[in-house]
């Protein structure tokens, strides 16, 4: 399987089941397919590439080591993203001394909206304004928007992953969208469309 091609959840679950049965090729495929998306997610939590790579390696090492004790999952991506997030937060003592981890951890994301907007033939000014609005969201709101709209996770999975209740995720997502809508409608770019 090509790691650059998106994998369906059903295909990922098949690989997962094979992994649980000790299939090294399935394990390697899961590593190739999910390492880059995991890295892209992890680097947004803490901007330390070596640390994130180490966390990803540890997640896959533990996965292989514990495969006989794991059970089936309905979403491999969710399982791997949650494992990475947990590993990053658990191993925070390895972070540089000036970095700290708490509820206001940095979730840095550059929203890749150019392709969507270019498809709609909107101006560069529109792209910049939308990026600016997205980056005004709180760290937690950015993470929820990223996981929901860029990684396609459900609100329930996001809640479980971030240790929030589902209603909080719904509320944060709703507030984020409403805030974007409010600021977008006030934008001079909106009136040019």
Residue 78's closest CA among 6, 153, 1?
153
How many structural domains is the chain composed of? 2
In-domain check, residue 131? yes
Please check whether residues 88 and 131 belong to one and the same domain.
Answer: no
In-domain check, residue 4? no
What lies within 8 Å, CB to CB, of 130 at 6+ separation is 111, 113, 117, 184
Check if the beta carbon of residue 78 is closer than 8 Å to that of residue 153. Answer: yes
In-domain check, residue 103? no
Helix, strand and coil content of the chain, in percent to the nearest 5, comes to 70, 0, 30
Alpha-carbon separation of residue 152 from 29, 37, 57, 75, 172 (angstroms): 21, 12, 23, 11, 16
Residue 148: CATH number of its domain? 1.10.10.10
* pLDDT over threshold 90, residue 3: no
What backbone torsions phi and psi does residue 165 show, to the nearest 5 degrees?
-85, 160
In-domain check, residue 38? yes
Check if the beta carbon of residue 71 is closer than 8 Å to that of residue 119. Answer: no
Summarised one tens digit per residue, pLDDT across range 31-74 is: 999 999 999 999 988 889 999 999 999 999 999 999 999 999 99
Residue 63: CATH number of its domain? 1.10.1740.10
Please tell me the least confidently modeled range out of 64-68, 79-83, 99-103: 99-103
In-domain check, residue 56? yes
Q: What is the pLDDT of residue 97?
A: 42
> 146 is written with which tokens?
């990223």
DSSP 3-state assignment of 37?
helix
* pLDDT over threshold 90, residue 108: no
Whole-model pTM: value is: 0.72
């Amino acid at each position: 399987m090509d790691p650059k091609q998106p994998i369906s959840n059903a295909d990922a679950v098949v690989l997962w089941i094979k992994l649980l049965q000790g299939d090294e090729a399935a394990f390697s495929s899961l590593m190739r397919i999910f390492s880059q998306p995991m890295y892209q997610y992890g680097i947004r939590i803490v901007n330390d590439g070596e640390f994130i790579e180490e966390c990803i390696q540890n997640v896959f090492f533990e996965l292989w080591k514990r495969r006989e004790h794991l059970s089936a999952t309905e979403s491999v991506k969710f399982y791997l993203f949650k494992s990475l997030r947990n590993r990053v937060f658990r191993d925070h003592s390895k972070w540089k001394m000036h970095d700290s981890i708490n509820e206001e951890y940095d979730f840095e994301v550059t929203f890749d909206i150019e392709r969507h907007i270019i498809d709609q033939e909107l101006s560069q000014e529109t792209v910049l304004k939308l990026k600016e609005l997205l980056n005004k969201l709180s760290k937690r709101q950015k993470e929820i928007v990223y996981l929901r709209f860029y990684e396609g996770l459900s609100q329930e999975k996001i809640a479980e992953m971030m240790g929030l209740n589902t209603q909080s995720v719904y509320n944060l997502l709703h507030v984020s969208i409403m805030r974007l809508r409010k600021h977008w409608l006030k934008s001079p770019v909106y009136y040019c469309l």
